[in-house]
Structure 1
């Protein structure tokens, strides 16, 4: 297996929890949330934002298209930071430990332009990557092959020398198909153990 020359982090559910359903369960109740999500493909609408469409315009247009849920859909925009929380602290420590060890660390994430602008001041570690590949700016999203190809072309590192952590199996599958080394993220300790096993971090640094 090739030596790892860079580690690539997904952001949502790897470094920051992203659970909109949890927010809606708290605010409008689980029963109403389930009814809304059954009628309105909010994650599909958010995919448009991740592809570079304007955040406010996209969400507000969806709200007008679904008047029965107008106020609730607008919450996706107006209260977005309450959905993208909290930080997964152990993962952030791993990011910083890798950089301290001299390992290049990249971000590869499905994230809108305006949503990333919202998150950056709240989560300073988002500024700490050596390179950032944000779908909204690239107008390509995971798990499509093109965004992975763009990473390879930009960083100049061979696919087999990239180690990528993501919480979604479909995103991991595309990376693996391109020859990347991969880790399906389920919890930060498992990711820490993988980084230690690869010789990128000592057990102490990975705590």
Structure 2
């Protein structure tokens, strides 16, 4: 079936998301490794993505792990440095699709506060036709509920959706629901896919 709308993940598709790189740059590889072994930062981040209060979650984790308090607080105070830079060609492709009149939706795991921070830093995140952000929904990918909400409100049948995400588990859930999918491993392959689907001309995909 022809693609009627494109669905974008955000982290590692439109902006880089690499907390490990930030912590290694700030504290060194060995300390970063020990931090991530000792403190459940990624689980905390999942809770924030489900809608838990960002500042309270980080403060609570710092209190629970006083020996790592300085590092844990960086997750809040330096968050935008972990979510950077923008992937410029992906942003150009997003804008090229919108210029063509192709509906473009966001489906992303993001906290409420962190998405506000990201939108202030990256104005292109406000340009989607519709946004499905986990912190506002209370469910994260690859849980079915967030996909179901998009399907029931976007106005496009699942078979008409083309979804780009960098995580295989998120892609697998979408594919099981009848979506067309693209496992994102860089903007060049994504550009080729959009051209192959007839959504953009090669010149527009540059």
- Does the alignment reach a TM-score above 0.5? yes
Partner of 1:90: 89
Aligned length: 206
State the distance in 1 between where 2:144 and 2:194 align. 25
1:107 and 2:126 aligned: no
1:182 Cα deviation from its structure 2 partner:
0.2
Partner of 2:176: 177
| CA RMSD in angstroms, aligned pairs only | 0.5
Partner of 1:7, secondary structure, is strand
1:44 and 2:59 aligned: no
Runs (4 or more) in structure 1 with deviation over 6 Å come to none
Partner of 2:135: 136
1:27 Cα deviation from its structure 2 partner:
0.3
Partner of 1:148: 147
State the distance in 2 between where 1:140 and 1:38 align. 25
Provide the TM-score with structure 1 as the length reference: 0.99
1:185 Cα deviation from its structure 2 partner:
0.3
1:56 and 2:55 aligned: yes
State the distance in 1 between where 2:159 and 2:175 align. 9
State the distance in 1 between where 2:179 and 2:79 align. 32
1:197 and 2:196 aligned: yes
State the distance in 2 between where 1:168 and 1:60 align. 29
State the distance in 2 between where 1:84 and 1:119 align. 8
Partner of 1:24: 23
1:68 Cα deviation from its structure 2 partner:
1.2
State the distance in 2 between where 1:77 and 1:6 align. 34
Provide the TM-score with structure 2 as the length reference: 0.99
State the distance in 2 between where 1:77 and 1:3 align. 42
Q: How far does the alpha carbon of each residue in 1:9-55 deviate from its partner, in whole angstroms, 9 at most, with x for none?
A: 00000000000000000000010000010111211110000000110
Q: How far does the alpha carbon of each residue in 1:125-183 deviate from its partner, in whole angstroms, 9 at most, with x for none?
A: 00100000000001111001110010000112110100000000000000000000000
State the distance in 2 between where 1:121 and 1:23 align. 20
State the distance in 1 between where 2:167 and 2:74 align. 25
State the distance in 2 between where 1:93 and 1:24 align. 29
State the distance in 2 between where 1:71 and 1:53 align. 21
1:121 Cα deviation from its structure 2 partner:
1.3
Stretches of structure 2 that go unaligned for 5 or more consecutive residues are: none
Stretches of structure 1 that go unaligned for 5 or more consecutive residues are: none
Partner of 1:58, secondary structure, is helix
State the distance in 1 between where 2:120 and 2:140 align. 23
State the distance in 1 between where 2:154 and 2:20 align. 35
